[in-house]
Each structure stands twice: as C-alpha cells, then as structure tokens.
Structure 1
Amino acid sequence: MPDEQRPRRPATMKDVAAAADVGLGTVSRVFSNNGKVAASTRQRVEEVAARLNYRPSALGRGLKLSTASNIGLLVTDISNPFYGEFAEGLLGAANAIGHHVILCATGEDPATEREYVDLLLQERVGGIVAFPTSENRELWRSAQDLGTRVLFVDRTVPGIEAACLSVDHQAGARSATEHLLALGHRRIGYLGGPDRLTSGSMREAGYRRAHADVDVGVDERLVVRTRFTRETAYASAVRLLDAPDPPSALFVGNNVLGEAALTAVRDRGLSVPDDISLVMFDDVSWAKLVDPPVTVVAQPTRQLGAMAARTVLTARPEAQQLLLPPQLVVRRSTAAFYG
C-alpha cells in the first residue's frame, strides 16, 4: 500500500508536545485548563494541535470520570498466567475502592510501552501500575511531572524514583537453589530472563549466592539468559540439555521458561525427576496438574495485585521498596542426586 494511502494513527499528546517544543505537562495544562500557561505558549500548542488534528480525550478533559478513578495497568504478556492472576487481584481491589482499570500489554517492547504510557497520560489516569521494560526513562519522568503516580512491580527503571512492589526475588531464587544443592546436585543449570530486568538480575544473584554459601562454583556454561517467549526459551533449554556435560538439575526463572524447559526435557526423551530435577519461579495452575507436579517458588500473586491497587494512588512519590516473601513449595519434580 503506498504511504499516502496508509491510515495514519491519531496524533497523541506526545506528538503535540514534540512539535510545539514543550513538555507533556504544558500540553496537559493547555487542554485541561489546569495551571498557568503563557498566552504565547498556549497559542502555539493550540495551533500545533489543530495542524496535527489532535483530539484531547473526553476522559482527559475530565468530562466523564474523575481522573482519580482510573488506574493504568501495564503487563508484558496477557497469555502468561502470572499476569492474569495479578490483574485479577488488582481489579478486585480496585473495584472495591471505586477505581476503574485500563489494561495494556506491552510484549516487553519499549516502543509499545511508550505508546501505551502516552495513551494513559492522555486519559489522565490517577496512577499507573507497570511491569516496565527498564527503558523509556524520560517518559516515566514526564508521567511523574504530570502528577501521575507510578508504581513499578517486580522491576525498576534506572534513574526513576518510584515505589516498587515485588517479592524478594533473590531470597526466592536462593531457597530454590539451596534445595537442589541439599539434594546433592552440583551442576545446576539456570535458565533466566534478561539481566537488564531487575527481577532477572536478582533471581540470578540468588542462584549464585546459594552456590557461594556452600563453596560450590558456578559453571558459566550452565547459565543461560533468554527472552520470555516460548520459542527462544525452548531453544535455550535444548542448548542446556544438549551440552556435553549437561546439568543434573534446572532452576528456571518464571513459568514461561518452566513450560519451555519441561517440554524440551520430554522432547529429549528424559524424565523429571529421574533424569533431571526441575524447580520453577511462579506457582501457576498447570504446575500442580502436570505429572510429576513441579517444585516452585510461589509468589502471592493476587495479593501483589491487590496491594498494587491500594498503593498506587497513595504511595509517596519517592522511591520505596515494598517486599513480600516468596515461599518454596516442594513437590515431586526434584529428587536426590548421587552422581
């Protein structure tokens, strides 16, 4: 399709701010009539908005719902049951206290995250609960400058002072690895997410700390970081299993990686735990239903969601870390190793 025939996306508040060479806060004040704006600046913003055919949303102008009634929720993958349980907890608590929730899924893509945050700012939500990509620092700062309360979950964004709600990732990973070491395993593979994510780096740190505590070295060939997609996770699990000296146990960083690892184990004709023990971060429903059921580091996922709903509009803007303890749940996917 020729470019001139392609449908153009609607202009956003961010587009207007860039074209008018002003901040998002200035554009917001122009269209909400909330706060002082110089007459010349107001005229420039309005002229740019007219040229771009920008349409401020009714919610953004406060015509439908009180802005304090709206919470934006940014998750990464709605097919991941962890995010479904988290959203369920948040929605229930939000409804109970009279808040509405706008759900967005970023797919771990910084560009998509930018689009959704911009959309939520146009809708003038009172707060945003986000599993951030660790990028878009300036956009998150702009959100805070607009007075939008930001609560990160599981992860932080370097340079942004915002409250963060999570479980103690390092403690959870440490307990999982200690369990495997106590069973006699010394070659424990780690399949985790990108280390640029706070949750991934902390879980890997817990894995390493458990080894250091008992003076067991980590074979770096058994440490694999991958994206949270089933295809890449499966390929990474196969790489570990096909190593010349494969691990006797696997600790995987979340349920998507765990599903891929379990599939790879079975596709290789191996069995859990006879050939390889498996521990996974996240206690999702399928972990109890497979045979054998999987040993997990359980997060209080619905509780996290409910806490997020109650916290996002009341948390202080300065950084604070709100930690909940995870729990190791031992099932039949792990066994003693005597090799």
Structure 2
Amino acid sequence: MAVTIRDVAQRAGVGVATVSRVLNGTGYVKAETRERVLEAAAALGYVPSQLARGLVRHLSDTVGLVIPDITNPFFPLITRGVEDAASEAGYTVFLCNTDNDPALEAHDVQKLRERRVDGIIFVGTTERRELVDRLLADGVPMVVMDRQLGHADVDTVLVDNRWGALAACRHLIELGHRRIAHAAGHQSTRTGQDRHEGYREALEEAGIAYDPAAVVWGDFTYESGYRVGQVLLGRYPRPTAIFAGNDLIALGVIRAAEEAGLSVPDDLSVVGFDDIQMSAVVRPGLTTVRQPAREMGRLAMAMLLERITGKVSGPGRRHVFQPELIVRGTTRRREPLA
C-alpha cells in the first residue's frame, strides 16, 4: 500500500498541514519539526504525488512544444535545447508535431491546454496570429520560435534570416556567379520571405538584375528541393549557382543536378540554410548558413520559465540570433558570365 501524507504525519507526531508545509516548502515550520518530518518521510519511503503538488501550486511542471515537421532535422535540434533547459528546471516537455497542418496544430494546442501545461513554446505552420492571440488572451505563458508575428505581447526567439541569406548570396557573388537562382521555402512563412528578401538584396547590391523566373517557391522538404531543382535546372540559361531555402531543399537540388548529369560544385554551386548534421556528412560537404538551433531552444525555454514563474511580465521580448556562413565543398569559384 502506498505511503500517504497522513502516515508521515502520524510517525512524526505532527498534523497533516505541517507535513504539507515542510514538503512543499511553504509557510514557517520550526527547524526541529522540519527535521522530524523529513526523517519520517525518508523512513517510510514517502514519494509526494506530482499531480497533488501541482494542484496545490496551480502548476503541472510541464510545458508544450509545438513544431511543424519532426522529420526536418532542424526541429529535433530545437527540441533538444528545449528539453535540456526543461530537465534542468524539473519540467517535462510534451512534444506535438503538426505536419504543417493548421487544423492539427489547433487540435494539439487544445490538447495541451486540457493537460494544463504551464506554458507553450510554439513554432507555427503559418504566420497567422489568431491562435497566438487566443492563447495570450487566456493568459497562457508562451514563446514563439522561428516565426516573426510582429506581436508586441509575445516573447519571440528567431534568427536573422534576411542577413543569413544575404551572406550566402554574397558568397556566391564573390565566387564570380551571376546566374544565381533561389529554390525557396514556404512563401506563407516569414522565414521563407526573409530569406528571399536577403537573396534579392544581394543581387541588387551587386548590380545583378532580379529575375522572377529564377525563383521557384516550394516548401522546406527534400522532395520539394528535388522538384524545384528539376525546374530551375531545366531553364535556359541554366543557373550556375542556387541558394536554397534550407539544407533539405539544397540536398534535393543536388540530387536533381546529379540526375541531370551536372557536377556539384564544378557545374553548379549550391548553398543551404540551417547547418543540419547531414550537411557536414554528405560529400561534398554542404556550404550553408548555420542556425544555433539548440541554443535557440534553450533560450526559448528559459524565457518561458521566466513568464511561468512571474519573474518577467509586461510586453513581449524579442531575441534575434546572428547566423554564420559555413563554407564547405558545394561552392566553387567561377568567372563572371555575361
């Protein structure tokens, strides 16, 4: 039979309320009495119920993490960072994968609320604010990651996507490339839009005319990269370089290039974005823009805990990480073409 708080109280010769104050660290109890209660609990092997403690404190010591695609290696890195920080603080993380489906996203958020999680870290399938507005209106502590909603009331953690794309395309231009295409990600996300803006800004900065036909929008998957790569490489004149919206897209583009009989980087230079683990493993290694995904996850969890515990209140905070260009083997110098 499980040991109860009454058993501890009886052994220590005190009331149940006193045992509760000692075990929950609330209220004043004499040092001598506290020691007697703790000794009794240890002797009996008493394990406090996490649910019961949560009901007293009105907290569950759990948080929700909502991500759009667990098969994208970028998001497990974020998840690892969140879980690292959560574990250190004694919290459990409920992970929800929405498969980029807004309906499933809304369903998962509702399930998290039914579980009475203390807060939510949210990576939305789109840039729509309705769900976030509803959570904030209901007083749910939350942090938005990898999405730029422009919401003054929510904490946000993201990377400077425009700058990262600008650095990637500047690298290609410095290598002598003029026909640079863009295998873009989701047009419905600010992430995809910002990376496109960085691409366009780099061209304008170098005096290269922007060609809408050199941009094909897809999504952030390997399969999309393969399809988009086939389209871009089938156009004339063929690009000598492609900036991809993320590493999975870049890897799909490289497969399309190989099937077209093209060598990377001899015939085509390719740059990705994210620096997933696979980028350093493939040969040639993928030139890419590194996002500090694990650090982003840790910071998001730390910011959420500050909201949950009331250490921080008021307007939303915004932390933007600076990405880093990582040059590997998929880019090579080429003389400028007319």
Same fold, TM exceeding 0.5?
yes
Which of 54, 62, 67 aligns to 1:70? It is 62
State the Cα distance separating 1:65 from its structure 2 match: 8.8
- Rg comparison, structure with higher value: 2
The counterpart of 1:211, out of the listed 203, 207, 211, is 203
When the two chains are superposed, the root-mean-square deviation of aligned CA atoms in Å is 2.3
Q: Percent identity?
A: 35
Which residue number corresponds to residue 110 of structure 2? Answer: 118
Q: Which residue of 1 aligns with 2:22?
A: none
On the 8 A contact 1:163/1:317 being kept in 2, the answer is: no
| Secondary structure of residue in 2 paired with 1:190 | strand
- Supply the AA of the counterpart residue of 1:244: Y
Change in CA separation of 1:296 and 1:65 when aligned onto 2, cut-off 3 Å: farther
What is the CA–CA distance in structure 1 between the aligned matches of 2:204 and 2:271, rounded to whole Å?
19
1:296 matched to 2:288? The reply is: yes
Residue 194 of structure 1: CA displacement?
A: 1.9
What is the CA–CA distance in structure 2 between the aligned matches of 1:251 and 1:200, rounded to whole Å? 12
- How far off is 1:115 after superposition? 0.4
Match of 2:279 in 1: 287
| Post-superposition offset of 1:240 | 0.4
CA separation of 1:239 and 1:68: change in aligned 2, threshold 3 A: same
Contact 2:220 2:245 in 1 (8 A): no
Change beyond 3 A, Cα 1:175–1:75: same
Q: Distance in 2 between matches of 1:146 and 1:298?
A: 36
Q: Secondary structure at the match of 2:254?
A: helix
Q: In 2, Cα distance between the equivalents of 1:60 and 1:127?
A: 19
Alignment of 1:188-203 (within 5 A): 188-203=180-195
Question: Which residue is equivalent to 2:255?
Answer: 263
AA aligned to 1:231 is: E
2:329 to 325, 328, 332: 332
Confirm or deny that 1:184 pairs with 2:152. Answer: no
| 1:304-315 → structure 2 map (5 Å cutoff) | 304-315=296-307
Q: Contact 1:70–1:101 (CA<8 Å) still a contact in 2?
A: yes
Query: Does structure 2 retain, via aligned residues, the 8 Å contact 1:298–1:328?
Result: yes
What pairs with 1:45-194 in structure 2 (closer than 5 Å)? Answer: 63=55, 67=59, 69-134=61-126, 137-157=129-149, 161-194=153-186
Cα deviation digits, residues 293-316 of structure 1 (max 9, x gap)? 111100111111111111123254
Instruction: Give SS of 2:272's match.
Output: strand
Judging changes above 3 Å, is the alpha-carbon distance between structure 1 residues 327 and 237 closer, same or farther for their aligned structure 2 residues? same
**Where in structure 1 do 4 or more consecutive aligned residues deviate above 6 Å?**
58-61
CA 136–209 in structure 1, closer or farther in 2 if over 3 Å, else same:
closer
> C-alpha offsets along residues 4-33 of structure 1, whole Å, 9 cap, x if unaligned?
xxxxxxxxxxxxxxxxxxxxxxxxxxxxxx
Structure 1 match to 2:238:
246
Counterpart of 2:332, as a letter, is: A
Matched letter for residue 64 of structure 2: G
- CA shift for structure 1 position 319: 3.5
* Contact 1:121–1:143, Cα closer than 8 Å, also in 2: no
Instruction: Show the counterpart of 1:319.
Output: 316
Amino acid in structure 1 at the alignment position of 2:272: M
**Matched-pair contact (CA < 8 Å) for 2:127–2:148:** no
60-69 or 132-141, which deviates more: 60-69
SS across alignment from 1:312:
helix
Which segments of 5 or more consecutive residues in structure 1 lack a partner in the other structure? Answer: 1-57
Q: Residues 310, 68 of structure 1: CA spacing in aligned structure 2 closer, same or farther, 3 A cutoff? A: farther
Number of aligned residue pairs: 282
Whole-angstrom CA distance in 2 between matches of 1:190 and 1:129: 30
Task: Name the CA shift for 1:66/1:99 in 2 (closer, same or farther; >3 Å).
Answer: farther
Question: 1:59, 1:65 within 8 Å by CA — same for their partners in 2?
Answer: no
Secondary structure of the residue aligned to 2:306 is coil
TM-score w.r.t. the length of structure 1 is 0.78
Q: 1:223 aligns with which of 212, 215, 232?
A: 215
8 A Cα contact 1:200 1:253, kept in partner = yes
**Alpha-carbon distance in structure 2 between the residues aligned to 1:330 and 1:121:** 43
Query: Scaled by the length of structure 2, what TM-score is found?
Result: 0.78
